[in-house]
């Protein structure tokens, strides 16, 4: 399998960093629309509204990430929160992802270089 068919995604609930390893390592960031300000604004109206808003915006976030995942054959989801599990559950509901190998790994907060090293080690790329 060529490197272009592998993608690492470091993620938490606020952002996803897509790490593609090729001739020049590439990192793209997708930011969740559910920010602290959004949370506070919705919470000022009611807790139920805040939870509904959070769920809708997380689904929008996962949908954006999933459109990128469709371009790859092997994907590593890693990061410090359970956002990676939530994304995997979201993907498992859609048959378009059944032929994509998706793996999960726990990882702490990392620097950009540590993220690239983690993905290279996982895919055994020198």
Contact criterion met (CB below 8 Å) for 86 and 57: no
> What's the pLDDT at 55?
80
What six digits make up the tokens of 34?
Answer: 């559910």
Distance (Å, whole) CA 96 – CA 29: 23
> What is 3-122's CATH topology?
Nucleotidyltransferase; domain 5 (3.30.420)
0.85 exceeded by the pTM?
Answer: no
Beta pairing partners, 106: 79
Other Cβ atoms within 10 Å of 91 Cβ, number:
20
> What's the pLDDT at 2?
44
Number of residues written out for the chain: 126
Domain boundaries, the chain: 3-122
For every one of its 126 residues, what pLDDT tens digit does the chain have, with 9 covering 90 and above?
A: 344 589 999 999 889 999 987 756 778 999 988 666 666 676 667 777 766 767 887 899 999 999 999 999 999 999 999 999 999 999 999 999 999 999 999 999 999 999 999 999 999 875
Pairing type for strands 101-106 and 74-79 reads: parallel
């Amino acid at each position: 399998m060529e490197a272009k068919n592998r993608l690492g995604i470091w993620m938490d609930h606020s952002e996803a960093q897509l790490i593609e390893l090729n001739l020049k390592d590439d990192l793209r960031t997708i930011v969740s629309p559910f920010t602290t300000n959004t949370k506070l604004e919705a919470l000022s109206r009611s807790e139920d509204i805040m939870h509904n808003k959070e769920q809708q915006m997380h689904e929008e976030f996962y949908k954006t990430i999933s459109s990128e995942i469709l371009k790859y054959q092997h994907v590593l989801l890693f990061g410090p929160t359970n956002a990676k599990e939530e994304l995997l559950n979201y993907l498992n509901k859609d048959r378009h992802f059944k032929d994509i190998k998706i793996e999960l790994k726990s990882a702490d907060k990392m620097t950009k270089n540590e993220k690239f090293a983690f993905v290279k080690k996982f895919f055994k790329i020198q």
